[in-house]
Amino acid sequence: MSWIVTGGAGYIGAHVVRALAGAGLDPVIIDDLSSGVASFAPEGVPFVRGSILDRDLVESTLREYRAEGVIHVAGYKYAGVSVQRPLHTYAQNVEGTRVILEAMQAVGVQNIVFSSSAAVFGTPDVPLVVEDTAKRPASPYGESKLIGEWLLRDQAVATADSDAPLRHTSLRYFNVVGSADPTVYDVSPHNLFPIVFEALLDGRTPKIFGDDYATEDGTNVRDYVHVGDIAAAHVAAAQRLAAGEHVEPAYNLGSGDGLSVKQIMDAVARVTGIDFAPEIGPRRPGDPDRIVATGELAARDLDWKMRYSVDEMVRTGWEARRRAS
């Protein structure tokens, strides 16, 4: 029996694959390498190159590897760009999820862990987000993830009395950082850590967008969570599903207190030894002061915890990125 990891050659997916293998489970990767990196796939792990939109490919992979479940990480993850590419975003994230569920039903695979996003909340009007905080996604990306959660919910209802009722949970999180394997690093051109690292490697000064927010130091506060912890939570969710244990429909993988952009910049300077004063630019439209989620439910069920300090988050990410240079 195996666990299929869609997007398993991506930054997060590749860490999930390693965490599954470390837990004694058998991962299998499906990835079209549109944003994944072939070298991120560990040696010895079966790699099926193709799109999750290819129903025949997904179904044949589930059958061939006798899948016990799916960890669905694949998706178009660029919230800002999704505003310019809504149709592409919906095709990849909504239709892709529908195809996976359809293939699972055809084969009789019951378990799925869905890599959702805290983008489903949009700009919440509360300082600490919990699972039932109102969902007001502010981009096609956030909307597509919320629709993905609805698809899982509705399919579970539809199959409840069948021979293979769907069992599912969705994991929501904000900013994933760091590295738990020095051969895997964040390649996104839109995430804070790689943006800052690339600036330093190019001899440029990193920039902060706005320092007049209603926070302790004037810069945005967000959850920053280590990719190793995120991967471990996906594996814990898969294990609970496979064991028939109770899971919530969704869990927030939050820090509970958050970090500011200035705190991140200070940690980068400390860890890299590169002394810099970030440039201050204008605010970006729609950036809220603070968005932080609690992780209490995930701590109860998925052994969720913040195992890395901010300096360790920076150090592991920086070392992995420099190794790739």
Of 33, 144, 134, nearest in space to 92 by CA? 144
251 belongs to the catalytic site: no
Classify residue 273 as exposed, middle or buried by CB count within 10 Å of its CB (0-12, 13-18, 19+).
exposed
- What are the helix and strand counts (H, E) for the chain? 11, 15
The strand ranges marked E within 128-245 are 128-129, 167-172, 175-177, 207-209, 221-222, 224-226
Q: How far is CA 132 from CA 65, 113, 124, 221, 294, in A?
A: 36, 19, 11, 21, 11
Instruction: Please pick, among 78, 90, 141, 185, the residue that the annotation labels catalytic.
Output: 141
CB distance 152 to 273 below 8 Å: no
Provide the token pair at 217.
């130091």
Classify residue 222 as exposed, middle or buried by CB count within 10 Å of its CB (0-12, 13-18, 19+).
buried
Q: How far is CA 231 from CA 137, 200, 282, 285, in A?
A: 24, 28, 35, 31
Can you tell me whether residue 150 is helix, strand or coil? Answer: helix
Which positions are catalytic?
141
